[in-house]
Structures are given as C-alpha cells and as structure tokens.
Structure 1
Amino acid sequence: MLRSQIVGCGAYLPERVLTNAEMAEIVDTSDEWIVERTGIRQRHIAAEGESTSDLAFAAAERALEAACMKGSDIDLIIVATATPDNTFPATATKVQARLGMTRGTAFDVQAVCSGFVYALTVADNFLKLGQARTALVIGAETFSRILDWKDRTTCVLFGDGAGAVVLRASAGAGTTADRGILSTHLHSDGRHYEMLYVDGGPSTTGQAGHLRMEGREVFRHAVVNLASVINEALEANNLAAKDIDWMVPHQANRRIIEGTARKLGLPLDRMVVTVDRHANTSAASIPLALAEAVADGRIRPGQLVLMEAMGGGFTWGSCLVRM
C-alpha cells in the first residue's frame, strides 16, 4: 500500500514584523486588547513588491533542501492560497518555473484557512493512485493585501508567510505504524458563506476587496467543527486523543486552540502554537507551525501528528500523519 511520507519541511516569513504596539498607531486598539482576545503579539508583513509566489518559492526551496531534493525531482506542485499573484494563471506555475520543474503539473487550491489540509489531501490522493511519486505542497498567503486597515476587528488578526512540505510515495503494510499520511477528512458548508468572506472579486466588483468576518459566529463554529473533524480522524484510525504526540492546529486564535484542546481533553503542551508570533496566516499557518516544530526537534520521526483547520466557506478538515 502506498503512503505519502513527509520527507522535508520549509518555511518563510517576511522580514517586516508589525507589533501590537505599532498596530495601536494604525487603528483604535492596544496590545492588551489584542492579546486578551487572540493571543497575538506580532505578525509578519510582506514587503512592497513581495508577492505570494515569492513567499511560496522561498518556503519551497527550504523544504526541498531539507528533503535533499531539487525542483526537477518533483512531479506535482500544489499551492494553497486565497491571495494568488494574479487571477490566473495559478501561482503554483510561477513557483514551478522558478524551481526549474519542467514536467508534471502545478495548480492552486483555494479553501482559505483550510487550504493546506485540502492541498495535502489532493496530493496524497495523487501519490496513492500512482499518478505522481513526489509532490510539493505549499501554503502561502499575503493577507495584508486584502485587509481593511481601518477595521480593528480584522486587521489585527492576520499576517503573511509561507510553509511547504515535500511528499514522497512509499510502500508499506498499510497500518498506523507506517510512516506517512494515515487519513484525511474534508468538509464544507456553504450556508455560512457570509460569516467570513472578501467583499470583492473579478466577477462581482472587478477588484479584490477586503476581508469581512463575524468573529463570534466563526469562533462558535470553529470549536465545534474542529473537535468533530479531529474525532473523525481518530475514529477512522482506531486511535484516541492520548495516542497523538502533537497537534498542529490552524493558528487563527489562541482561544480557539485552547477551546479545541479542552473539548478533546488534550494538554496545551502537546499543541504547536505560533499564533502569538505569526498571527493568522491562513493556508500558511499549519505548514509554518509544522516546519518550526520539526526544525526545533519537538516533532520527531515516528511520531503521530494531527493537523486541523477551518476557514471561510465554511471549510474544515484534518490530516493524521506519522512523521
């Protein structure tokens, strides 16, 4: 049975750091207000002229280096992003060209904050079916470009960044002891479209627009949906929460992370948390957190890691992997 093994992780954050104190000079807010409600203390902001593909390419290079591979070794590139360089073509094709990959295929996936889990699922299916042997999955965002910097309820929450993983198909016995992605679980519910969306687009206003959110409703749905999709992953693999070595949640809000942990009975010291330094980087948040925890030695080969996310749409999903 073929499994998709994670053989390399990489991350990139723009150089510019915007602290809460600096945010207080832009909108009516304070460090205390932001930290109390979100756990966020700073975020990274892409430089003028620095695009989503630039961030994605930098993260991809680092993931490939960690995997001891080069761009020409890759069969498939999927970029998860809600902030592409252009309406078309796909941002993934720009990354493909810069990496020197001239075969295979490259395309984008758009599921907002759930995008990386969605992209992992698509890549995993390609590898399990034998349609590719290696894949580069990237989450990359420049959310600073779609924020209303006069809206303190949203502009303080988001940042820019990119994370990437390299997947390689590997044969195994098909048990939970095998390294690789054990299962993925995706959901969406379009009835909640207007709770988290961008008020623009090519076919409506002709321009990108700004992010709009009903924060309390998003929070309420997030805790319920995330706990449900985590339990779905555990049940599918006949596991319990105590069997998980690390949870790598979407980094939207520390209160959501804490609420999810309480629902599952998981200690916070088994949750990888970067929201305080990265803020919400949408599709980039999970691979950024994963790359950090792998690099600092917290996540080690053979450990069980559960990733989960919820985003606009609503979309949500989970991925269970043995590293």
Structure 2
Amino acid sequence: MKPFVVNSHDRLVFPANFIAELDFSVIENLEQFTAIVERDFEAKAPTGTDILDRVTSEAYSGRFELLRDIAQNLFWVNRFSMTMFEKRPTRWRDLPKNRPDVYLPVLTPWEDGDKKVKAVREAFDRLAPTWDESDEQHVFDLLFDVFGHRRHHATELPAVKPTVAQFLETPGAMTFVVPGHDPDFPVFAQNEIWDVNSDVPELEALTRWAMVLHNQYPWDRAATELRTVDAIGDDDHVVAFHPRNRDVSAFLDRVSGGRPARRRRVATPAEPVEPVRPLPPVRVPEAFRVQPRIEAIAITRGEHVCSNEDVVRNSAFSWSPMSAASISKKTGIDQRRYTEYDIEDMAYAAAVGALEKSGRGPDEIGAVLVATCTSERLIPSLSTWLSGQLGILQTHCSADIVAACAGLPYGLSEAVRQLQEVERPVLLVCVEKFSDKIGNVRTSRMIFGDGAAALVVGPAPDGEAGDVEVLQTYASGPRSQVNSIIWPNPEFDNDITVYGPEVKALVARYLDQMLGELREQPSADGSRTLLESIDLIVPHQANKTMILQLAADAGLSDDQLYFNIETMGNVSAASIPIAMFDAVADGAVTRPARVFAPGFGAGAVGGYAVLRLDPAVLAPEVFLDRYVPEPPAPVEPSSAAAPGASTDDVRIAFGE
C-alpha cells in the first residue's frame, strides 16, 4: 500500500510519486527490471546532449521547461542507484573489501560535461521566468548544485554494480572520491519535502523532485572527484553502495546467479469462443418468487478532496507534462475523493447508515455481501468481518464479490438469489479504496477515488411488485480486455494500472450488447421496449469523456445519462450507487424513476440492473470524519425465519 499524507498546509502529498522506490519482491529478473527503468526513468528523460541541443537551438520558451528537463535527466542518471541502493560515503581504510553486499560503481568521466554545464547556466540566466522567479531560482539552485557538479557519464551505466572486490580487479576502474567528507552534510528531512508549498502546482512538484535529488548526494559535490584505486588515500572517502533492503539483496542474488530464479508455470491461453447460445438477461418478476425491495441506500465518500491541481502538485518524474484543465478535458473529472480511513471503516459506516434508514436490526439480516476489488482483507473477508462488526451472530451467507466496476449488478444479482433462500433482508455494500493502491501510475491517479454505498434489499410484501426488474451479468472476452486493468501489476511496481485502448474496446463491446438486449426486451406493461421505458441512465462512472462518446455512437443523448464523476472520480463497485444517491440530491430524480445502471470494467466483467429508484429510501449521507462507530454486541437472529430455513429445521434435516 502507498498511502497519501496530509501536510502542514492541509494539502495531499503522494510520496510514491517522487521517492522512486521499487518493490523488488515482484521483479523476477534483470530484463524485467530494465524494462521498468526504461519506461519510468528513460522514456521521458533527456540526456545531457539532448539538453545541450535544445539550449543551442533555443527550444526552451521559459525557465520551467529547462528545469523540468534537468530534473528528469538527473532522475535518469540515478535510475539504478536510487531504486536499488543507499549511498554511504565511507573512509577507504574502513571499507569492507570482500563482502558480497557492498558495491562500488565503476564510472567514466562525463563527455563534454563542462560544455553542457556552462550552456545550462547561461540558458537559465537568459530565459524569462515561467511563473514565479523566486521559486524557479530556488529550484535551479538545488538542481544545478547536482547537475553542475556531475562528474560521470550516465548513458551506459550497468544496473548491477560491481562488488568492492570486483572493482579492485578491474584495471583502470574509477569511482567517486570525496576527500573530506562531512557526515553532517545537510539533507532535507521527510517533512520538509512533504511540506513544500507553492501557488503554482507544477512548481510545487518540481521543488519536491529537486529536494529528493539533492538528498541523493549527501556530500560536497564540488570537491568530488573520479579516481582510480591507486589514487585513493586511506583517509579519502568513497561512495559505497549498499542494497536498500532485503528484497533488493535477494534480487541481486537472483540476477548474479547466487540464487535460482523462481519457477513460473504459465498455461498456454486458448482463443476466445462465443457461448453456445446467448446468455439472456434475467427478468426478475418472472424468474423469482420473492421480489426484491430496495429499503435503503446510504453512502459515504472520502473526506479529502483531491483536485486536479493536487494531482499536478504531485506529478511524478515519469509523467508527461499536464495541467489541471487537460485532466478535466481527458477524463471529465475535476476532483476525486480520498480517505485516510481504512476500507473497513467506509464499509461499516455506510452499512450502519443503511440499516438505520431501513429500520432493520442486525438480527433481521440474512446475508451480507460486499462488492469490492480493493480490499486488502482476505481472512476474515471484508463481508465476514463486517458481519461480526455489525453484531450479527449468524448469516446464511457472508461473502465478498470481486466484480470491480460491475459490483452493483453482480451484488444485486446475488442479493436477489439470497432472498429466495432466506426471505430476510440482504445487506449489500459496494466499497472501494484506491488512493493507496495507485502509486505513480498517471492514468490511475487521474481517475480513481474512494467511497462506499450500502443497500438493504428486503423481500417485498406478498403480491406487491419489487424494485428490480431486470438483471444481467457478464464476464470474460479477449485476453487484452480481461487484462485491461490490473492490480497488483509487477510491471508497474504492483500498482493499479489501466490500459486505455483495451478498456475503451471492452466498454464499447458491452455497451452495444446491453443496449441491444434492452431494445429486444419489452417494458413491464409491454407497450414499448425496455430501453424506451428508461427514465434515466446512471452508468458506471468510468471516464465521462469516453462514456459520452460511446453513448453518442449508440444513439443516446447526453441528457439521458447522469454523471457525478466530476466530483467523485471513478469508485468502481461503489460508483453507480453513489451516483444514484447524487442523482436524487442534484434533482435529476425527484420521484420514483426507472433507472438503467450499466457497469463494466476490470477482468472484462460487465452487467446492468434496471431498477426503480425511490428518493424516499435514501439515508442522510454518512460523513466519515464525524462518524466514529462503536461495534454493537452480537445478537441472535430473529425468529421470523423463512419456512424450512430455521436452525431447528436444519438440525432435523441432519437427523439431530
């Protein structure tokens, strides 16, 4: 997990975006590591020669562009050292010479270094400030103290450094030498980096980059030299590289042959084939005896607003330049909500709000279902933990459903099935917490948020209609779509990753299928198609720009769809019920309405519900920062069990 922090200025900070640490426990070999480094450190970074060419051709329009290039160049220069090692200036006489876990980099002098440094110095002085002269000067001073005293060439640096013993056996090998090292050389404390504050989001991000890069060289850069071993005195300091942690040590053992690589078995994938016959949607009134009634809907959302400006303030060095406006144009999102609370807290708060609104006690609940794809809780599952936390002594079923963005249709489908067996209310909670699982993946950071919704789905009185008319669920497809959203993803440091074109293809395929089914299905009274009877479409809030484009292609108009993604972001399983809540709050639904709620996403899952949304069932919004729940004591289930489903009946069935 990679949580955000709130700094002293009450702003969100995402340390994973600029610390440049990698999880080596999931990196199998040198080829995989090299690919990660090429993507995150090299793809966007200019070399020193590139910067010189841009200066010479006067390609820079202002100081910020130059500063950004310098910073990205320095992250690239440190691509292996800062991800794998701690740099420790050590007196030569005290340096272990034969340990296998102490390394010395072999370095070559920087080609045309003086020329490149001089060109950058003169260019900065010549260029006009982009936004704030004082802030840009401060960033330049930090970066130029590193760039201007750079000694070595970086183009052909090896990922794995030689040990000290290997260094000594390499004729003519040169390394860093710091003749008089001050162990108290000043570096920036963590809180100083977190607390950077600028009115310009881009400069705030760049200042953090500069401070992190400054900390990579905790010694006098001006006095640093490259020397061969015969020129190193006993009291001179060299810069020893030590593995950052045990995972790095194990990785180095694997790639050096000191430890066998882990075995992986990968089955040969089959080509996808169509079902033997279409899988029709379920018409709930016709398929089930017990009709579902939505008794309550309660929601809670992250207590922190993460604006597009906050995302830009936390730009990672691997990102392309972007502005708050460009994020809004690309995604339709202006802000998303994040929480410092655990995912369990959100689930519990929403569940209590829904139970209170429905008037149901824990003794009446027959099943607890939790739809989520971001829970870290495996044993006990989030649903079983929630059952115990709510004081429910026993349920017929408590189960987690991992259906990502189709969590609502999947959850409702299972809730309706549970109703047939228990004839008691089912608690369905849709909850996601993405903020600590994104890391520095740009598309994910722009899109995802945190939130929860809980629904109490009870049995309608005999002879009365329920609130759910049609349910449909799908899964699978081409492998590219099944793997279009991945978490954890070793290729991206186990962060959530979204492959946009594949997601768009998945959504287009399912949306076309869903609308086709609704055009073929009759409405409840048979007077028109089911699609024509829909009052409002509340889709999964994936990406407003993409959904509107695909909807237009399918013949739908913008005013038929409701979005709250501008302020919530994408909350996966929780997005549809939170959007339904906001549709009422915004006045888009003022009376009981027939809603079409389609969802689609990770794993090539999809599905929809056609349901009746009554504003009367909405509970007051639950605010996490004011809601500190106390778990109740467990209570016995109510005696109002369905025929044939009581505890006594079960004992009789087993001959007790």
Report deviation, 1:210: 1.0
Per-residue displacement from partner, 1:109-136 (whole Å, max 9, x unpaired)? 0011112221111111111x23342111
Per-residue displacement from partner, 1:224-274 (whole Å, max 9, x unpaired)? 312322432453444243310111110011023313432443332332211
Cross-structure match for 2:336: 43
Cross-structure match for 2:404: 112
How big is the alpha-carbon RMSD for the aligned residues of Structure 1 and Structure 2?
2.2
Per-residue displacement from partner, 1:125-182 (whole Å, max 9, x unpaired)? 111x233421111110111121122x222211101111111101115669xxx33111
Which residues of 2 match residues 106-255 of structure 1 at below 5 A? 106-127=398-419, 129-149=420-440, 151-171=441-461, 178-190=465-477, 191=479, 192-200=481-489, 209-233=494-518, 235-238=520-523, 239-255=529-545
- Answering whether residue 569 of structure 2 is matched by residue 279 of structure 1, we say yes
Aligned with 2:422: secondary structure? coil
Cross-structure match for 2:244: none
Report deviation, 1:301: 5.4
- Provide closer, same or farther for how the CA distance between residues 78 and 314 of structure 1 changes in structure 2, counting only shifts above 3 A: same
Which residue identity is paired with 2:430? G
Which residue identity is paired with 2:375? P
Report deviation, 1:83: 1.2
- Provide closer, same or farther for how the CA distance between residues 130 and 170 of structure 1 changes in structure 2, counting only shifts above 3 A: farther
Aligned with 1:78: secondary structure? strand
Question: 1:9 touches 1:290 (CA, 8 Å); kept in 2?
Answer: no
Aligned identity (percent) is 29
Determine the C-alpha separation between the residues in 2 that align with 1:4 and 1:302: 16
Which residue identity is paired with 1:20? N
Determine the C-alpha separation between the residues in 1 that align with 2:581 and 2:549: 24
Cross-structure match for 1:270: 560
Determine the C-alpha separation between the residues in 2 that align with 1:137 and 1:233: 25
- Provide closer, same or farther for how the CA distance between residues 63 and 292 of structure 1 changes in structure 2, counting only shifts above 3 A: farther
Which residue identity is paired with 2:498? M
Determine the C-alpha separation between the residues in 1 that align with 2:358 and 2:346: 19
- Answering whether residue 347 of structure 2 is matched by residue 52 of structure 1, we say no
Determine the C-alpha separation between the residues in 1 that align with 2:387 and 2:405: 23
Q: Which moved more, 1:185-194 or 1:228-237?
A: 228-237
Cross-structure match for 1:24: 312
Question: 2:364 touches 2:424 (CA, 8 Å); kept in 1?
Answer: no
| Structure 1 runs not aligned, ≥5 long | none
Q: Which of these two proteins has the greater Rg computed from alpha carbons?
A: 2
Give the total of aligned pairs.
310
Report deviation, 1:95: 1.6
More strand by share: 1
Which residue identity is paired with 1:281? V
- Provide closer, same or farther for how the CA distance between residues 7 and 37 of structure 1 changes in structure 2, counting only shifts above 3 A: same
Per-residue displacement from partner, 1:192-228 (whole Å, max 9, x unpaired)? 332211135xxxx7xx921122102211321331232
Alignment match of 1:11 (pick from 281, 289, 299): 299
- Answering whether residue 609 of structure 2 is matched by residue 319 of structure 1, we say yes
Question: What is the TM-score of this pair, normalised by structure 1?
Answer: 0.88
Q: Which moved more, 1:100-109 or 1:31-40?
A: 100-109
| Structure 2 runs not aligned, ≥5 long | 1-288, 316-320, 524-528, 614-656
Determine the C-alpha separation between the residues in 2 that align with 1:6 and 1:64: 12
Determine the C-alpha separation between the residues in 2 that align with 1:294 and 1:284: 16
Determine the C-alpha separation between the residues in 1 that align with 2:555 and 2:362: 41
Q: Which of the pair has the greater relative contact order for Cα pairs under 8 Å at 6+ separation?
A: 1
Determine the C-alpha separation between the residues in 2 that align with 1:237 and 1:103: 40
Question: What is the TM-score of this pair, normalised by structure 2?
Answer: 0.45
